[in-house]
Amino acid sequence: MNIALAQFNPIVGDLTGNAHRTVEWVKRACEQGADLVVFPELSVVGYSPHDLLDNAHFIDAVEAAIRFIHSHVPPDMGVLVGAPVRNPNPVGKKLLNAAVLLEKGRPARLTPKMLLPTYDVYDEYRYFEPAESQEVMEFSGMRLGVHICEDMWNLEEYATYHMYDRNPIAELVDQGVDVLINLSASPWAHDRHAVRNGIIKTLCQQHNVPFVMVNQVGANTELIFDGDSSVHGQDGQLLASAPSFEESLLLWNTEHSTACDPAPRHRIQDLHDALVLGIREYVDKTGAFDEVLIGLSGGIDSAVTAALAVEALGPERVTGVTMPSLHSSEGSVSDSESLARNLGIAFHELPIKNAVDAFESTLSPLFDGTPFGIAEENIQARSRGVLLMAIANKFSRMVLTTGNKSELAMGYATLYGDMSGGLAVLADVFKMDVYALARYINKRAGEVRIPVSSIEKPPSAELRPDQKDEDSLPPYPLLDDILQRYIEERQDEELIAQATGQSISFVRGILDAVDRNEYKRKQAPPGLRVSVKGFGSGRRMPIVARVDRQGIERMMHELQEESPA
């Protein structure tokens, strides 16, 4: 059998567009000799449609889209699409997350998803009822073990703890299958490629069955999907793979068993490609703005954001504005000018002295006699925010914010100032990775795109004389290490202190700062998720809370002392 892997990029909610494009891909697969074409999880609606699923009219339209696709399936061919379907059982959630097999002249057949993730960015049990059982689908003389995304992830060696008491893969294999087929909408994050391949290889070797995984590609708001669709043989060897971060139609013959060498993976290259895709998709899929606007400071973060935006949209759709203050260095303007020239983008200089003076004059009845401090520093940042938003409104552009994950974690950012905008490109990228991206961008271009001085200068917000980030923050290599351990690896303060060689009080101060600034991050624009734990829907921390780590430690010590021997 010839199986086509349709690494497809749907737009969430665009049922008409997704249905028409699905039919186009089916036609292409048919022309290439495919007997069966497999699309990703929820391919008809895009992942994830969230509360669109609560709208009965929307589900009616989904059913119409499936009927449209079904009516265009060629004879003697099968099409597997992913879609929400109504639950025929009156008890339970109203919908099933299903793989739907469409064949000409036959009723649609479906297999629902059994394991519904409710962690990190996933909230599927909010909408879907889990499958009670898994049943093999017979098609063209073959027994297909069709299942959906999370159904393959219940392996002890790849989970910190078991969440499910069912094993859909084992239940399918026990019925006898010729090939396992997984429809996925698995977002990209660092090392996700290796984890997916490791799981699939293990499943193949455990059950001695080949495995086809078809994953969504594209980006929807914060989630970035890399595709990475693949075919593994029954021994776990990679037989075929689709390119990452782009649509692809990959054809595999089930009689083909020749292993291929996997393409080498480069962490920063993947990060670059993911962010470029995320920017392009956010701008193009929302359709609200054709162009973007970036405040250029001469520093590394705004430079990398601008370079990524140019890669995503082209220089003609990117504008840079530098807004020097009395405290800005000469390099703030000259490095911004060099960057704009290197990237070929429109560039403007708008000094903010008059705006700052006006704010300070207006506030003088209240501020006179008080020392210069954070309020005055933030007036500068907010003056820049006002200018950027005014330009964006006037010329219908979207502002890209430039803050990185390290800064956002520590609250080293100004609400309604540098946090103003429509998309936070680097919100899930630690500072040291921003530097790595800058070097990669220059290397990839074969020329200096980002000025060397922007890479080499000490980072500074330049909101007061001779200000440096390290006046307020630990050195970024150390800070990033601690933040990654706390936010992404969920380590406690004692383990972090031991691993980094720092005191408990020092580590606790950083962790407290992260918790204390949750209110800022809740008001930030959506950020592109590239890690296993980003600031967004996958990290739900309370704003109104009091986490007294020292008090908890003291209480635990007291309880231990009071416990009977």
Q: For residue range 311-361, list pLDDT tens digits in order.
A: 999 999 999 999 998 877 787 899 999 999 999 999 999 999 999 999 999
Contact present, 484 and 530 (Cβ < 8 Å):
no
Catalytic residue among 41, 124, 291, 407: 41
Helices (H) and strands (E) in the chain — how many of each?
17, 19
Mean pLDDT of 229-233: 97
- Evaluate if residue 159 carries a pLDDT over 90: no
H runs (alpha helix) in 208-352: 267-286, 300-313, 330-343
Residue 361: burial class (beta carbons within 10 Å; 0-12, 13-18, 19+): exposed
- Provide the pLDDT for residue 562: 67
- Provide the pLDDT for residue 467: 74
Mean pLDDT of 67-84: 97
**Of 485 and 558, more confident:** 485
Residue 246: burial class (beta carbons within 10 Å; 0-12, 13-18, 19+): middle
- Provide the pLDDT for residue 341: 97
State the DSSP H helix or E strand holding residue 112, giving kind and residue range, or none if neither.
strand 106-112
- Provide the pLDDT for residue 564: 64
pTM of the model: 0.94
Annotation marks residue 149 as catalytic: yes
How far apart, in Å, do the first and last CA atoms of the chain sit?
Answer: 69
Mean pLDDT of 211-231: 97
- Evaluate if residue 462 carries a pLDDT over 80: no
Proportion of the chain above pLDDT 70, given as a percent: 98
- Provide the pLDDT for residue 160: 64
State the DSSP H helix or E strand holding residue 85, giving kind and residue range, or none if neither.
strand 78-86
- Provide the pLDDT for residue 310: 98
Annotation marks residue 260 as catalytic: no
Q: For residue range 188-218, list pLDDT tens digits in order.
A: 999 899 999 999 999 999 999 999 999 999 9
Judged by average pLDDT, the poorest of 67-76, 369-378, 552-561 is 552-561
> Could you tell me the domains of the chain?
2-255 (3.60.110.10), 272-472 (3.40.50.620)
Residue whose token pair is 């084992």? 170
Catalytic residue among 113, 285, 405, 431: 113
CA atoms of 256 and 84, how far apart (whole Å):
33
Catalytic residue among 149, 431, 493, 520: 149
- Provide the pLDDT for residue 550: 73
The bridge status of strand 137-139 relative to strand 142-148 is antiparallel
- Provide the pLDDT for residue 362: 97
Q: For residue range 411-448, list pLDDT tens digits in order.
A: 999 999 999 999 999 999 999 999 999 999 999 999 99
